[in-house]
């Protein structure tokens, strides 16, 4: 359907066969799902969050459906960086696609140690630095909330990591443009915009919040208009490539993200209901390119910004 070159994008140090990336935290380490046949249309994959030490994640209800979306409060459950390298890296590599290790921005010490462990192993192409977590060294606010703390986070990671460094922004920041500029100034190679949106749910039968931590992250189609707006704003603030993420569930959504200035998209929750979405997005983009007489998908980036 689509020729290889048509869908090719080159972003922040990675060469992708398509602009569709599997977002962090949604794709299991099940061997069969990392086979080429099950990854049609996928340009790259982000691993689940990796932290220095293993984390059990949150107790109680972890997922909750909302209108056209869902809330999650997984709590970064993972086995730690060593377990990732030992147990899952071979599988991840077996997909023969660029991948990004989604790294939890913890304390300075922890993140330096995690990166050191990753850097020891040759052939890890990229880190996606997740700055949505609280800065335990600082004020407890998420690293990604202010331009200053985001700058610090990126500086730390950049000084330790020579490979491609993507930074995943949090839409909870009141100064997204500032955070984006700070990440750019500190040497990030690309920005992922963004993570989940802070929401909550109430269990009216039990008369208490559904989640033990009360709040949880909203994702899925419901947030698409919000995510698209943040992509528009961030693309206006920086020259770095931007990856749109939040609610992408169709080729039309992906196209809108690209026109707004994104170089690629990440898809998350929509995979929960459609394994085949990446292939469908690529097919839709390909037809759209033909109709619009545009040669390559990278030609769409930012085209909607010139009125």
Partner 1 sequence: MTCGGSAPRDYEAKVAGGRALGDGSGLLAVECEDIASAAEPGQFVMVRPGSCGDPFLGRPLAVAATSGGIFKMLYRVVGRGTELLVSKRQGDSLVVRGPIGRGFFSSRGDMPLPKKVLLAGGSVGAAPLLFAARRLGMAKVAGVSMGVSGRGWEGFAEWLKESFPGVALFSDDGSVGTKGTALDGLPCQLPADTEIWACGPQGMLRALAAKYPEDRARIRVALESRMACGMGGCLGCVIPTARGNRRVCVDGPVFTAEEVLWNEFAD
Ligand X SMILES: Cc1cc2nc3c(=O)[nH]c(=O)nc-3n(C[C@H](O)[C@H](O)[C@H](O)COP(=O)(O)O)c2cc1C
CB 243 within 8 A of CB 215: no
- Binding of its own copies at residue 201 (CB under 8 A)? yes
Nearer to its own copies, 4 or 207 (CB): 207
- What are φ and ψ of residue 124, in 5° steps? -90, 110
Classify burial at 173, counting beta carbons within 10 Å of its beta carbon; exposed 0-12, middle 13-18, buried 19 or more: buried
CA distance 174 to 105: 19
Q: Show the tokens assigned to 156.
A: 């730390």
Q: Show the tokens assigned to 157.
A: 């990671």
Classify burial at 61, counting beta carbons within 10 Å of its beta carbon; exposed 0-12, middle 13-18, buried 19 or more: middle
133 is catalytic: yes
- Binding of its own copies at residue 256 (CB under 8 A)? yes
CB 234 within 8 A of CB 180: yes
Name which of its own copies, partner 1, ligand X, none residue 207 binds, using a CB cut-off of 5 to 8 Å depending on partner kind.
Answer: its own copies
Q: Crossing angle, helix 108-120 and helix 147-160, to 10 degrees?
A: 30
Chain position carrying tokens 């994959």: 45
- Binding of partner 1 at residue 120 (CB under 8 A)? no
Q: Minimal distance in Å, beta carbon 86 to its own copies?
A: 37
Q: Residues 229-248 vs its own copies: string with x where CB under 8 A?
A: x--x--------------x-
For the four alpha carbons of 37, 41, 44 and 47, in that order, the dihedral sign comes to: negative
Per the DSSP assignment, residues forming a β-bridge with 101 are 127
Q: Residues 13-52 vs partner 1: string with x where CB under 8 A?
A: ------------xxxxxxxxx----x---------x----
> Which residue of the set 133, 193, 235, 245 is catalytic?
133
Look at phi and psi of residue 13 and say left if phi exceeds 0, alpha if psi is from -120 to 50, else beta: left
Contacting residue, 33, 61, 74, 177, with ligand X by CB under 6 A: 74
Q: Reading across the β-sheet that carries 215-219, which strands appear in turn?
A: 63-66, 69-72, 215-219, 197-200
Which residues in 140-199 contact its own copies (CB under 8 A)? 173-175, 197-199
Contacting residue, 21, 39, 50, 70, with partner 1 by CB under 8 A: 70
Contacting residue, 44, 105, 228, 248, with ligand X by CB under 6 A: 248
Catalytic residue numbers?
Answer: 133
User: Which residues contact partner 1 (rule: CB under 8 A)?
Assistant: 25-33, 38, 48, 56-57, 59-70, 72, 74, 77, 87, 91, 220-221, 249, 269, 271-276
User: Which residues contact its own copies (rule: CB under 8 A)?
Assistant: 66-69, 71, 173-175, 197-202, 204, 207-209, 214-216, 218, 220-226, 228-229, 232, 247, 249, 252, 255-256, 259-260, 288, 292, 303-304, 307
User: Which residues contact ligand X (rule: CB under 6 A)?
Assistant: 23-26, 48-49, 72, 74, 76, 102, 130, 168, 195-196, 219-220, 223, 245-248, 267-270
């Amino acid at each position: 359907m689509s020729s290889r070159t048509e869908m090719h994008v080159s972003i922040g140090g990675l060469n992708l066969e398509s602009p569709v990336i599997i977002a962090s935290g949604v794709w299991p380490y099940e061997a069969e799902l990392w086979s080429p046949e099950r990854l049609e249309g996928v340009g790259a994959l982000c691993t689940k969050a990796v932290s220095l030490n293993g984390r059990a994640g949150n107790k109680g209800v972890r997922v909750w459906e909302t209108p056209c979306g869902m809330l999650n409060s997984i709590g970064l459950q993972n086995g730690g960086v060593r377990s990732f390298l030992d147990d899952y890296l071979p599988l991840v590599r077996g997909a023969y696609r660029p991948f990004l290790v989604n790294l939890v921005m913890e304390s300075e010490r922890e993140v330096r140690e995690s990166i050191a462990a990753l850097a020891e192993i040759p052939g890890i192409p990229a880190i996606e630095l997740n700055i949505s977590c609280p800065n335990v060294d600082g004020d407890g606010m998420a690293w990604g909330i202010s331009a200053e703390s985001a700058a610090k986070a990126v500086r730390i990671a950049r000084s330790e990591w020579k490979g491609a460094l993507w930074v995943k922004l949090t839409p909870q920041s009141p100064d997204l443009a500032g955070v984006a500029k700070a990440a750019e100034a500190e040497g990030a190679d690309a920005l992922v915009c963004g993570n989940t949106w802070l929401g909550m749910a109430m269990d009216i039968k039990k008369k208490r919040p559904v989640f033990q931590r009360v709040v949880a992250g909203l994702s899925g189609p419901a947030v698409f208009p919000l995510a698209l707006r943040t992509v528009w704003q961030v693309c206006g603030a920086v020259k770095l490539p931007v990856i749109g993420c939040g609610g992408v569930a169709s080729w039309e959504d992906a196209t809108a993200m690209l026109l707004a200035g994104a170089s690629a998209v990440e898809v998350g929750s929509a995979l929960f209901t459609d394994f085949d979405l990446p292939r469908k997005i690529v097919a839709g983009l390909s037809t759209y390119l033909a109709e619009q007489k545009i040669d390559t998908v990278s030609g769409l980036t930012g085209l909607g910004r010139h009125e």
